[in-house]
Amino acid sequence: MRRLKLDRFTGVVSAGKEARVYRAIGRDGKEYAVKIYLTATAEFRKSIQKYLLGDPRFQRIDTSSTKKLFMAWARKEYRNLLKMSSVGVRVPKPYLVYQNIVVMEFIGRQGYRAPLLHEIYNELDSEELYSIYEIMVEEYKKIYCCAGLVHADYSEYNIMYLDGEIYIIDVAQAVSTSHPNYLDFLKHDIGNIYRFFTKQAKLKIQNLENLMKEIIGCKIVCPKK
């Protein structure tokens, strides 16, 4: 934390059962999002283990220790952000992980976080929504085909929208494509895309089977690492 020279925290921008995200200002005036995992309910402990235990990157995690579990979860989010950003996925830029804290780029303007897609889709016209649909599909191709990951919670609740661009957040649960259940997570994510844009956004898009084929077909040029 000292390395980033954070000057002050200005308030909570997002609060959930297990974590809070704060907006912080650096001594140079730069904005940061500081995510702090706070509690571990029995339900949360059980839910995150299915994303950790099958991931070869985290095989030796001591899941009996709440503290170690949260530290691993924060580290997993940071590593997933690094992996995705390295192949051009639009995620907040990660800066630091320390114990149960992840520091990343603040996505927003004038001290306010960018809205989530589910909060503002009713304000957008069909052309804007279709553009978001195309971007979300292309970003998922990068996640799957280039980063070798599956988001595992890809939905309108984890997509920020600002100035015509999307930003993918909450990536701690993302798993490697070597995870034994990656295909189930992948199908769930693609199903979420299809559900949202056909049911909520009321768009006419390709059917679910073709959408699945398009994403796993990996007809995309990945950046050289």
Q: Choose between 83 and 53: higher pLDDT.
A: 83
What own/partner pairs with CB < 8 Å and gap ≥ 24 does 186-192 have?
186/144, 186/150, 186/215, 186/216, 187/212, 188/152, 189/140, 189/150, 189/151, 189/152, 189/153, 189/154, 189/155, 190/140, 190/215, 192/154, 192/155, 192/156
Q: Is residue 55 part of a domain?
A: yes
Both 66 and 158 in one domain: the answer is no
Tell me, what CATH number does 144's domain have?
1.10.510.10
Tell me, what CATH number does 37's domain have?
3.30.200.20
The pLDDT, as a whole number, for residue 136 is: 98
| pTM: predicted TM-score of the whole model, two decimal places | 0.92
Q: Does residue 184 carry a pLDDT above 80? A: yes
Total domain count, the chain: 2
- pLDDT tens-digit profile of 157-176? 999 999 999 999 999 999 99
Both 105 and 119 in one domain: the answer is no
- Cα gap 45→99, rounded to integer Å: 17
> Which structural domain range is residue 93 located in?
2-109
Phi, psi of 93 (to 5 degrees): -65, 125
Q: Does residue 53 carry a pLDDT above 90? A: no
Q: Among 66, 84, 109, give the residue marking a domain's end.
A: 109
Nearest to 200 by CA among 159, 169, 149, 164: 159
- pLDDT tens-digit profile of 35-51? 998 866 667 777 777 78
The catalytic residues are 153, 170
Both 39 and 137 in one domain: the answer is no
Residue-wise DSSP of 181-221? THHHHHHHHHHHHHHIIIIIS------HHHHHHHHHHT-SP
Q: Does residue 63 carry a pLDDT above 80? A: no
The pLDDT, as a whole number, for residue 81 is: 98
The pLDDT, as a whole number, for residue 225 is: 60
Q: Among 76, 109, 142, give the residue marking a domain's end.
A: 109
Q: Does residue 217 carry a pLDDT above 80? A: yes
The pLDDT, as a whole number, for residue 3 is: 66
Q: Is residue 71 part of a domain?
A: yes
Both 20 and 67 in one domain: the answer is yes
Percentage, residues of the chain above pLDDT 90: 72
Q: Tell me which of 54-63, 111-120, 177-186 is least confident.
A: 54-63
- Cα gap 193→157, rounded to integer Å: 11
